């Protein structure tokens, strides 16, 4: 009887350990999942900041005499294409194809903005336009912020995915439907427009085509 009682106590203790382990694993997954969602919101915010700068930038540049209309059209069309990509603003994507579509649209917009800034170098009157200079500075700062937030997102996703694939959290992940999440794959440099050279005594820096 004593041995049976000890066995029963052992079972109870083991059960408590398993429950505590399960609770800890679930809480860890929940915390890491929320971290990825929070960082995804930050990524969305900086991309939206860039999109919000574009109308004023286009209006300012279009005021330059004989500015290339095709370049402005590319920017406005690319911005419109970004708005057509459906992504959840509240949680990080779990579908790699969905993130790839979002990333492709944003890269296309980044490339169009790069071309606009390069073309702007051919219009000396823009270098004295205070509004354009302010917008250009804000755009460059936003592009840098995009790079930072994308890198942070990939880091949080890596932590989350590691937990989803690791024991014992992998058990809880399967029970509660936690799935791995995709990373951004393009290099941050693909999102950054070239530096605009307003010293027209020097040749402009060559544009670099964005990654696709």
Q: 115-143 pLDDT, tens per residue?
A: 999 999 888 888 789 999 999 999 999 99
Residue 143: closest CA among 183, 120, 116, 181: 116
- Both tokens assigned to 126: 């823009």
CA distances for 157 relative to 100, 108, 160, 182, angstroms: 15, 24, 5, 7
For the chain, state the CA radius of gyration. Answer: 25
> What is the CATH T-level fold of the domain 2-182, as seen in this structure?
de novo design (two linked rop proteins) (1.20.1440)
- Predicted TM-score of the model (pTM): 0.79
**Domain range annotation of the chain:** 2-182
Closest CA to 94 of 169, 176, 33: 33
SS3 content of the chain, % helix, strand, coil (to 5): 75, 0, 25
Contacts of 26 (CB under 8 A, 6+ apart): 172, 176
Percentage with pLDDT > 90 across the chain: 59
What are the backbone angles phi and psi of residue 199, rounded to the nearest 5°? Answer: -90, 95
Q: Which of 54-68, 102-116, 163-177, 197-211 is predicted with the least confidence, judged by mean pLDDT?
A: 197-211
């Amino acid at each position: 009887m004593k041995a049976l009682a000890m066995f029963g106590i052992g079972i109870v203790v083991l059960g408590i350990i398993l429950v505590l382990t399960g609770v800890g694993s679930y809480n860890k997954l929940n915390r890491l999942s929320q971290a990825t969602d929070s960082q995804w919101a930050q990524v969305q915010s900086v991309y939206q900041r860039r999109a919000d700068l574009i109308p004023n930038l286009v209006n300012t540049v279009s005021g330059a005499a004989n500015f290339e209309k095709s370049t402005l059209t590319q920017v406005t069309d690319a911005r419109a294409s970004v708005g057509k990509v459906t992504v959840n603003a509240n949680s990080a994507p779990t579908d790699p194809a969905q993130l790839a579509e979002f990333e492709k649209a944003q890269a296309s917009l980044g490339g169009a903005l790069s071309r606009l800034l390069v073309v702007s170098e051919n219009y000396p009157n823009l270098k004295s336009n205070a509004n354009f200079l302010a917008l250009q500075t804000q755009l460059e700062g936003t592009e840098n912020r995009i790079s930072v937030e994308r890198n942070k997102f990939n880091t949080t996703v890596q932590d989350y995915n590691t937990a989803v694939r690791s024991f014992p959290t992998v058990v809880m992940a399967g029970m509660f439907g936690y799935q791995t999440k995709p990373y951004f794959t393009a290099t941050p440099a693909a999102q950054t427009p070239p530096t605009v050279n307003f010293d027209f005594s020097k040749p402009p820096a060559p544009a670099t085509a964005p990654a696709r």
